[in-house]
Amino acid sequence: MLVDSAFGCGIIKACGLGDVAQLVRAPACHAGGRGFKSRHSRHFVEFGDMFCRKIMDVVINKAEVLSVADVPVVAAIAIETEIISICQNEVEILKNPLCHAEFLAIESALKCLETKYLDTASLYVTLEPCSFCASALEKVRIMEIFFGAYDPKGGAIFHNSKIFETSTIKPNIVGGIQETRCSAILTNFFKQLREK
Ligand SMILES: [Zn+2]
């Protein structure tokens, strides 16, 4: 077991696809971000709870240090303070166009939890999910979605098909979390790619 000093807690490798981190719930505080409230939500977490910010930091930190050929997107599935799975985009690594970070994190979490739905879980991701991932999130009935950079071209949460606007599944959604930082990860990646 590795000890993550940022949280003073243990991180263990699980499910073959990601890490499991035990995070400690901290007092709520407030942070930016645009969100809308689910009509059917059991509870609404403004993106201000300290543990939400910590999980998002884990996800962004991981995306910032990726040094592979794939577009750097990282996604985690968490239930309250516990990260169940955390995965990166592996389309190029695995030569599989379905291997988006969110999809891999969903698959890993389902496997870990041995469940069919993630209706008590939250997704944290550095980029607005695309239509494929948004559909997958709808299918697993995700409870909350927290994402960093908006993606006007490929995003399907606040852009294009806006999947949850017409769905019976209504997760709590907050976008634009640490947007500048998350956008910079992608901008830098594509800049480096052009310079190669
Ligand atoms: Zn996707």
Is 179 one of the catalytic residues?
A: no
> How many residues can be counted in the chain?
196
Q: How far is the CA of 103 from the centre of ligand 1 (A)?
A: 7
Q: What is the edge-to-edge ordering of all strands in the sheet holding 82-88?
A: 2-4, 9-14, 18-22, 82-88, 74-79, 122-127, 144-149, 172-175, 34-36
Ligand 1 center–CA 9 separation, angstroms: 30
Question: 79 - beta bridge partners?
Answer: 82
Distance 106 CA to ligand 1 centre (A): 11
State pLDDT tens for residues 96-105: 999 999 999 9
Q: What is the pLDDT of residue 78?
A: 96
pTM for the full model? 0.79
Choosing from 64, 80, 82, 102, the catalytic residue is 102
Encode pLDDT of 171-188 as tens digits.
999 999 999 999 999 999
Q: How far is the CA of 27 from the centre of ligand 1 (A)?
A: 32
Scanning the structure block, which residue is given the tokens 């800049």?
191
For residue 46, the CA-to-ligand 1 centroid distance in Å is: 24
